[in-house]
Structure 1
Amino acid sequence: MANRVRVSFGLAILLFTVGFIPTVTAESAVELDNPIWLAERDLGLEAIAVGGETTQKVLVAGAEGYARLLDGSDPTQQVELATPTEETIRAIDWHPRGKTALMVGDNGLMLRYVAEDHSVTTVTGSSQLVNLDMAAIAWNAAGSYAYVAGESGYIWAYYEGQDGQGVFEIVNDQIGSDITDIACQEEAQLCAVTTETDGIALIDTNTNHTMYWIGGEDRRWLGVNCGEPVFNRCAAIGEGRAIGSLGLDLQQPEQSTLFTQIIPNLGGEFTHIHKRAPGETLISMAPFQITAWDMSNAEAYEWVEYSDVSNASNALAGERLVGTWGTTDDANVGFIVTSFGAVVGFHPPVETSVWTDSLISYILAVVVLIAVPGVIFGLIFMNSEKLQRKYFQRRNAKREAAEQQRIDKEKAEKRAARKAKKS
């Protein structure tokens, strides 16, 4: 009998443990709307950037110099921009004040967009970039310098000099790996640089654009975002579903750290990373899938699952993603942009919020925590003759005591009745 008790107890422990094994669900956190098509042809979009002075605006651009301005909350409100080029635009960044933006691309292309009149012109002095393909552009927090980079590892610090003449200061003139992206901290004078084979570097604006290489040479890095202003962190994405968490040391940038995590249970590869909310980013993937990354807690979770997209539309599932953004009013509501030119809205499921699944999981865990101990003790009791014998002895003793109390009560009542008659 003792053996039976141990086996049943082991089964109960197994049930208890299974109740708390974490599960990964292949279900999107948000639902997708019908797409808005910017054109009837393939636009070959390559870049998006979110900015604006008083309201949220989004610039999208790509092949043959195509560029368009979208309203961040309602992308059906659009302004098509006339650009003086047929080169492909590869990257965009808004000035911190939101009145202008810079675009860079193939063959040294560098353009300035002015929100006041929606004009797009070539940046004066950018002719020195000709014959080099530019892939990255980012303004520092103060808006005093913009870093432009791309082919062969060259990086320049750009600012507008007297009479509107562009001034370019070389930051890195050593031939090396192509630069894939640059992102700057929103409230600190540090910018992060990702490369194809040279790893990740930081640029310190306060010390005449000093560069500090902090590691990651063993991986091809594809993009970086520094939209976490509280703990001074950036997140870089790399091949093999790698996410590099950059811990920035503002006083000693050379002491900054890089910690790389591989995100399992995902199909496809990372392509772009964009800010959804402070400390929260959305990582675009190929094929059509989006993973959310919490920079503060270094945690990833599904945002848009490929199977949900393919079940809804095979054509849309085959689209290449360019980027995403969350709206100003609600970061759980936003839009996805594809290379072809589709703008797809997303929002939390109508019947639940984004966090409902987690809440249900916690409730179930509490229920299991309350119920399982009872199951354990029940199994032990059913398989123990000693416990059963003690239980029945105690129950019978209670019944006998109650019966004796009833008899004593009846006797007392009879004695009282006889005494009353005699008197």
Structure 2
Amino acid sequence: MRKKAVWLCILLVVTLPLASAIPTSIEILESRSLDSADLGLTGGALSPDGQYVLVYGADGYLHLIDSTQAMNPDEDVYLEKDSDETLQDAAWHPRSQTAYIVGDKATVLRYVKSTHDVQIVTGTNMLDDSDLTSVAWVASGSHAYIGSEDGNIWMYTNGSGFQKLEGTKESQISDIACHRAHNICSFSTLSDGIGIIDRWSNISWVSGTTSDTWLGAACDDGTLNECVYIGSGARIGNLRLDPDTPENSAMVKIWELKELGGEFHTNQRGIDSTSLFTLIPIGLLRYDPVTTDTFTLMVNADVISENVTLSRENIISVWEMDTRTGFFVTSRGSIVSFEPLVDELNDGILTTVLMLVVAIAVPGVFLGLIYWNSPWLQRKYLNWRNRRLEKKKTQP
């Protein structure tokens, strides 16, 4: 009997700390649809001032959502359709007054915030009728880079138009990301690896990156000279940028997230300069560029239990108003709000309570172990207890 009690006490000591491992997650609050039909959206871009999200997709679809009141359709701005081509990417100018949208068959559009006009950018005959896949502005806003399905990259300025860069290869440019503090950019390709564009628009290639299929790039923390890349097979790459000599930039490490339960789809900027990675089937992760840690926010199984229809859709844009509080848009055109499953205040209180329980329980467990294994202590306790009982009997 004594041995059983000892093992029970040991089990309590071992299992108590595990109770503090509370998973971080979000819950879906409400949703609405932009249209009853499947819109075939391909992406969305949050303006640098945080006011609007521009979503885009098939058949030249463009729509503006108020980022803070995304569930209120009265705050939406319905934009004029100026193209029938599929729009593949969009980037806001750093001053948030215009956004450029690119798509199939050399489509380049300009959205003007002050008038909500959508304009066709001229001079696209320089783009060889290419299907355009990505666009990004440098931090200063002096120029943008545009990538294509056939591996070409152009620099664009309002004054000079389009200029084709030298040194590209043939694989599709899957994404372009520009550093938030330096006028240098990085781009990912499906089979030619990762490239760097310096401040003079010269291209260099990062060694050791051609064996992966890279899907997206992000340089979301302007205080770090680093960018992160997501790849097929749940692969993540961490690149150390050299702002002074960009051709010396190097991949620090490439690793795989095991048991991810899906494939990476897109990357968006999260709160506090973190990155949000969306998954297929529908899911959401947070990446911290400082620690290179990832945190699960939403897994497909959780969505299935709440909304089977939503679980079949893919997230094309996500943004946060606070930690684990925000909205996402799906390819079909659903807008969904979310918040922490357990808010941070309650998390903190619960963690404190658990720490107190452990602090109180663990010494008691060890004292119990000593007592159960010491016949002398047991005899002393019984003698003391009997004396107290006898004393009570003699009291009037």
Unmatched segments (≥5 aa) in structure 2: 392-396
Q: 1:344 to 1:122 in 2, by over 3 A?
A: same
Aligned pair 1:323/2:323, yes or no? no
The code of the aligned residue for 1:379 comes to L
Secondary structure of 2:165's aligned partner: strand
Q: 1:346 to 1:105 in 2, by over 3 A?
A: same
Q: 1:12 to 1:246 in 2, by over 3 A?
A: farther
Check whether the contact 1:273–1:282 (CA below 8 A) recurs between aligned residues: yes
Check whether the contact 1:19–1:365 (CA below 8 A) recurs between aligned residues: no
Alpha-carbon separation, structure 1, partners of 2:284 and 2:348: 19
What's the counterpart of residue 385 of structure 1? 375
Check whether the contact 2:6–2:372 (CA below 8 A) recurs between aligned residues: no
Unmatched segments (≥5 aa) in structure 1: 404-423
The code of the aligned residue for 2:262 comes to G
The code of the aligned residue for 2:301 comes to S
Q: 1:363 to 1:95 in 2, by over 3 A?
A: same
Secondary structure of 2:156's aligned partner: strand
Aligned pair 1:168/2:163, yes or no? yes
Deviations 1:351-398 (A, max 9, x none): x414644653464245324422321231133123355567789x69x9
**Paired positions, count:** 384
Aligned pair 1:275/2:269, yes or no? yes
- CA deviation after TM superposition for structure 1 residue 143, in Å: 0.8
Aligned pair 1:138/2:131, yes or no? no
Choose which of 330, 346, 350 in structure 2 pairs with 1:338. Answer: 330
Alpha-carbon separation, structure 1, partners of 2:348 and 2:227: 26
Alpha-carbon separation, structure 1, partners of 2:92 and 2:302: 33
Choose which of 34, 37, 40 in structure 2 pairs with 1:41. Answer: 37
- CA deviation after TM superposition for structure 1 residue 194, in Å: 1.3
Q: 1:145 to 1:211 in 2, by over 3 A?
A: farther
Measured on the aligned residues, the alpha-carbon RMSD in Å equals 2.9
- CA deviation after TM superposition for structure 1 residue 268, in Å: 1.4
Alpha-carbon separation, structure 1, partners of 2:27 and 2:255: 28
Aligned pair 1:353/2:350, yes or no? no
What's the counterpart of residue 17 of structure 2? 20
The code of the aligned residue for 2:363 comes to P
- Please say which of residues 232-241 and 384-393 is displaced more in the overlay: 384-393
Secondary structure of 2:30's aligned partner: coil
Secondary structure of 2:219's aligned partner: strand
Aligned pair 1:57/2:47, yes or no? no
TM-score by length of 2: 0.86
Secondary structure of 1:98's aligned partner: coil
The code of the aligned residue for 1:224 comes to A
- Please say which of residues 238-247 and 222-231 is displaced more in the overlay: 238-247
- Describe how 1:179-190 pairs up with structure 2 within 5 A: 179-190=173-184
Q: 1:241 to 1:366 in 2, by over 3 A?
A: farther
- CA deviation after TM superposition for structure 1 residue 99, in Å: 0.8
The code of the aligned residue for 2:239 comes to L
Aligned pair 1:232/2:219, yes or no? no
- CA deviation after TM superposition for structure 1 residue 50, in Å: 0.7
Deviations 1:53-94 (A, max 9, x none): 5x6111100001111111111132112222322110000000
The code of the aligned residue for 2:334 comes to A
The code of the aligned residue for 2:87 comes to I
Alpha-carbon separation, structure 1, partners of 2:310 and 2:69: 20
- Please say which of residues 105-114 and 333-342 is displaced more in the overlay: 105-114
- CA deviation after TM superposition for structure 1 residue 299, in Å: 1.8
Choose which of 99, 103, 106 in structure 2 pairs with 1:105. Answer: 103
- Structure with higher Rg: it is 1
- CA deviation after TM superposition for structure 1 residue 95, in Å: 0.5
The code of the aligned residue for 2:287 comes to W
TM-score by length of 1: 0.81
The code of the aligned residue for 1:367 comes to V
Deviations 1:113-148 (A, max 9, x none): 111222222222222223322111100101112111
Q: 1:20 to 1:171 in 2, by over 3 A?
A: farther
Alpha-carbon separation, structure 2, partners of 1:90 and 1:9: 64
Alpha-carbon separation, structure 1, partners of 2:349 and 2:242: 36
Check whether the contact 1:227–1:278 (CA below 8 A) recurs between aligned residues: no
Check whether the contact 2:105–2:129 (CA below 8 A) recurs between aligned residues: yes
